[in-house]
Amino acid sequence: MGKRYENKVVVVTGAAAGLGRALSLGYAREGGELVLIDIEPKGLEETRGMVEALGAKATTFVADLSNEAGVAEVGAAVLAAFPKIDVLYNNAGAAYGAVNTPIDRVEWSQFQFFLSLNTLAPLYLARALRPALAAAKGCVINQSSMAAYQPAVVYGVTKSALNQLTWGMARMFGADGIRVNAVAPGLMETPASAASLGAEHQAKIRALQMLDAHGEPEDIVNLGLFLGSDDARFITAEVMHCDAGHPYRAWRE
């Protein structure tokens, strides 16, 4: 089988660690040219080195995606350098710590910060890159979460709004032939999830799954590779869950 991403440009945000790094390596293995964005320069450079070791090209952009100016600046810089973009994978986001504050306790400014990073940045970056996505008849993939169904914490609200945005963006961007979908991971084993969720908490989450299985970054990579490829050309406005059948999406916890 030929490589699915030869002559394709893939932009990954939050590429310095975890799922973003795994996704970057996945697209690189399939022949893609990578554009890597993150706020952490050290991890970003490490990912670039790993992508290049696979024989793929990579360009890095350090950016803070938690505010309008940061998103606009990196959007303009990427657009100037890459007139055709096949995939924008909006993966950067906060998933651990303060973003899990209950909504009846969170400070207004803190709520705004997490909404900006998790929800608004994916929309505004896609808007900034729309001409390049249109030129390639490309697609956008938003990293949602099974937590989108937990309305009582900030994290859940930011990701359920991202699901709504995915449907809205699919409708608006479809006019340019751009597909927009979301991937909603369950509990995945990344360094950040391991460091933030205790073993007991993780076991509790897994016990609710329909399958007795551990989610690994490669599970998300496989879905991202499919959704960004021509194999998914008829698929848009979908939120695809990859969570071993987690009941959060049926129940409101």
Ligand X SMILES: NC(=O)c1ccc[n+]([C@@H]2O[C@H](COP(=O)([O-])OP(=O)(O)OC[C@H]3O[C@@H](n4cnc5c(N)ncnc54)[C@H](O)[C@@H]3O)[C@@H](O)[C@H]2O)c1
User: Which residues of the chain form contacts with ligand X (CB under 6 A)?
Assistant: 14, 16-20, 38-40, 43, 63-66, 91-93, 95, 117, 143, 145, 185, 187-188, 190, 192-193
Give CA–CA dist 117/71, Å, rounded: 10
Output the smallest distance, CB 104 to ligand X, in A: 22
Work out how close the CB of 92 gets to ligand X at its nearest, in angstroms, rounded to a whole number: 4
Nearer to ligand X, 62 or 136 (CB): 62
Give the residue closest to ligand X by C-beta: 18
Chain centre distance of CA 232: 17
| Torsion 223-154-128-36 (CA) sign | negative
C-beta of 95: minimal distance to ligand X in Å? 4
The active-site residue, picked from 5, 27, 89, 155, is 155
Q: Are strands 33-38 and 239-242 parallel, antiparallel or unpaired?
A: unpaired
Q: Let me know if 5 is a catalytic residue.
A: no
Residue among 80, 223, 184 nearest 59 (CA):
80
CB atoms within 10 A of CB 84: 15
Residue closer to ligand X (CB basis): 84 or 238? 238
Name the phi and psi angles at 83, rounded to 5: -70, -15
By C-beta, is 37 or 132 nearer to ligand X? Answer: 37
Catalytically active residues, by annotation? 155
